[in-house]
Structure 1
Amino acid sequence: MTVTKAVILARGLGTRMRADDGTTNLAGDQAAAASAGTKGLINVGRPFLDYVISSFADAGIKEVCLVIGPEHNAFRKYYDQVEKSRVTISYAIQEEPLGTANAVAAAADFIGNDRALVLNSDNYYPLEVLTQIVKVPGLATAGFARQELIAKSNIEAARVKSYAIMDVENGKLCNIIEKPSEAEISAFPDAPISMNCWIFDARIIPACQTVKPSVRGEYELVDAVRYLIENGEEITVVPVAAGVLDMSSRKDIAEIKTALSGVPVQL
């Protein structure tokens, strides 16, 4: 069955976005959202998340859950009043910023017994990627081809080089290698890159609740994924040759605004 639910992890602290090195000139609501670290609310014609959610709706998503912190009233204020005709928007509260696995666990009631698209709030994925992955049965993730990701994204090659790569066998995920070394990249030259675009069901919740804190002191979604694999669950890797718009720092805002100029939005 095609997926019709999506969970957006919007609880992140936005540390890179909050940092102001003085090289970008933001004003008004852009500056306020950037300083608060609420990347999804940064105005790039409309709030960035409007474009993300509209693309979800184009792919058949009907229910969206924003995982936010208890202090994130700006998300509620905006999405409670904005016009919506294609999606419903609800909220799950992650009480403390304890990592991505903890964030997904906060959306347990929303996911229920269904499958759901799960991704971060600072990435805009092409519709072609979303329409492919929502139709895949079971658990799944998008695996991005390195060269196309670099060529079609606003992400520098040096940053992409540090992104997690996937060990894939017969179309199934065997492992994720985070911050791969030069030797690991050479050992897996054609390994797809993870951009945290997932399809999960209720099986992800106990996995997220079981993992231990990482060296950063956070509960990491990648560790929950490894837990699933180690316990016999299969995760299909959907190969895609596409780019992603990444809203990580203030310097990304102007380029993303240009890229999304003229893109229609209907929530």
Structure 2
Amino acid sequence: MSTPPPAPTKAVILARGLGTRMRRDDAAAELSSAQAAVAASGVKALMDVGRPFLDYVISALADAGIQEVCLVIGPEHEVLREYAAAASGGRVRVSSAVQEEPRGTADAVAAARDFAGEDRVIVLNSDNYYPAEALRALAGAPGSALLGFDRAALLERSNIPAERIRAFALVRRGADGLLVDVVEKPDAQTLAAFGEDAPISMNAWLFTPAIFAACDRVEPSPRGELEIIDAVRLLVADGEPVTVVPAAVGVLDMSSRADVSAVQDALSTVEVAL
């Protein structure tokens, strides 16, 4: 009987995004002057929702057993470098790695290669808050894994409207619970083929070091980006098992100015400990 791998203690948070939707003005969104300034900067992970949004994300990771966090940032993101230095030293050590150009999520993950070393790492978006219970389940998976979110739970417990959820990546899981395929931005035909019960991916991953070789092999997508989903497909094609961990929970999304109020309300009772 093989010994299970040690639980991951490292996480990578992808914070290199340009924040295009957050920068867009929205007259209907009621923001404080401080919130409006963050929105205009596009660094949505630092949106003040009682405290910086990233505080909540990192605290949930710490609750799931993570001890080291690496923020993947752009060379211009001095404010995120300063945040990492200020947030580090409590339950979690926080550092940063630079993705020189916004070439896509696979390239962003590759920027954290030195941080990961030979360890497994959880990889997350910086603009999503994933409950600690889901992160604990992800950390308990063997090898590589992803969270497969339940559509009904996302609709009921998230701040994300149905039309946006319909655009999220769909997961095909085999009878053995392993990933067969994942499709980004599915069209109506794909939605019908996968079915309403198909799990949804919201970019919450657990990777072995094999992901970095896969990222090196990824070709640009039709959007011209190096996509982490394509790297995961290469892992599956190479025979690496990727477990789909069921997650019947909500996720908070901080993509636009219209999201700020709902996220702030939802996090108002959440305790943060960094």
TM over 0.5: same fold? Answer: yes
Query: Bigger shift: 179-188 or 165-174?
Result: 179-188
Contact 2:84 2:96 in 1 (8 A): no
Q: Provide closer, same or farther for how the CA distance between residues 30 and 203 of structure 1 changes in structure 2, counting only shifts above 3 A.
A: same
Provide the residue aligned with 1:231 in structure 2: 238
- Shift, 1:80, TM fit: 1.2
Aligned amino acid, residue 65 of structure 1: C
Residues 160-213 of structure 1 show CA distances to partners (whole Å, capped at 9, x for unaligned) of 111110111020101112222223222222210001000002100011111111
Query: Bigger shift: 118-127 or 78-87?
Result: 78-87
SS in 2 for 1:25: coil
- Once residues 114 and 68 of structure 1 are traced to their aligned partners in structure 2, the CA distance between those partners, rounded to angstroms, is 21
After TM superposition, list the pairs within 5 Å mapping 1:42-57 onto structure 2.
42-57=47-62
2:60 corresponds to 1:60 = no
- Once residues 98 and 155 of structure 1 are traced to their aligned partners in structure 2, the CA distance between those partners, rounded to angstroms, is 26
Contact 1:63 1:88 in 2 (8 A): yes
- Shift, 1:104, TM fit: 0.3
- Once residues 115 and 90 of structure 1 are traced to their aligned partners in structure 2, the CA distance between those partners, rounded to angstroms, is 17
Contact 1:84 1:266 in 2 (8 A): no
After TM superposition, list the pairs within 5 Å mapping 1:66-81 onto structure 2.
66-81=71-86
Q: Provide closer, same or farther for how the CA distance between residues 222 and 81 of structure 1 changes in structure 2, counting only shifts above 3 A.
A: same
Counterpart among 86, 104, 115 of residue 110 in structure 1: 115
- Once residues 46 and 60 of structure 1 are traced to their aligned partners in structure 2, the CA distance between those partners, rounded to angstroms, is 22
After TM superposition, list the pairs within 5 Å mapping 1:244-263 onto structure 2.
244-263=251-270
- Once residues 217 and 83 of structure 1 are traced to their aligned partners in structure 2, the CA distance between those partners, rounded to angstroms, is 35
- Shift, 1:231, TM fit: 1.1
SS in 1 for 2:225: coil
Aligned amino acid, residue 108 of structure 1: R
Aligned amino acid, residue 198 of structure 2: A
Residues 212-240 of structure 1 show CA distances to partners (whole Å, capped at 9, x for unaligned) of 11122111101101111111111000011
Provide the residue aligned with 2:249 in structure 1: 242
Runs of at least 4 residues off by over 3 Å: none
Q: Provide closer, same or farther for how the CA distance between residues 94 and 83 of structure 1 changes in structure 2, counting only shifts above 3 A.
A: closer
After TM superposition, list the pairs within 5 Å mapping 1:98-137 onto structure 2.
98-137=103-142
SS in 1 for 2:201: strand
Counterpart among 86, 89, 92 of residue 91 in structure 2: 86
- Once residues 236 and 208 of structure 1 are traced to their aligned partners in structure 2, the CA distance between those partners, rounded to angstroms, is 19
Query: Identity rate of aligned residues, in percent?
Result: 57
2:42 corresponds to 1:37 = yes
Contact 2:88 2:94 in 1 (8 A): no
- Once residues 213 and 186 of structure 1 are traced to their aligned partners in structure 2, the CA distance between those partners, rounded to angstroms, is 27
Query: Between Structure 1 and Structure 2, how many residues are aligned?
Result: 267
- Shift, 1:40, TM fit: 0.7
Residues 35-74 of structure 1 show CA distances to partners (whole Å, capped at 9, x for unaligned) of 1111110000000000000011011100000000111000
- Structure 1 unaligned blocks of 5 or more: none
Counterpart among 181, 184, 190 of residue 178 in structure 1: 184
TM-score (norm 1): 0.97
Aligned amino acid, residue 159 of structure 1: R
Counterpart among 213, 222, 229 of residue 206 in structure 1: 213
- Shift, 1:258, TM fit: 0.6
Contact 1:111 1:201 in 2 (8 A): no
SS in 1 for 2:186: coil
Counterpart among 136, 143, 161 of residue 138 in structure 1: 143
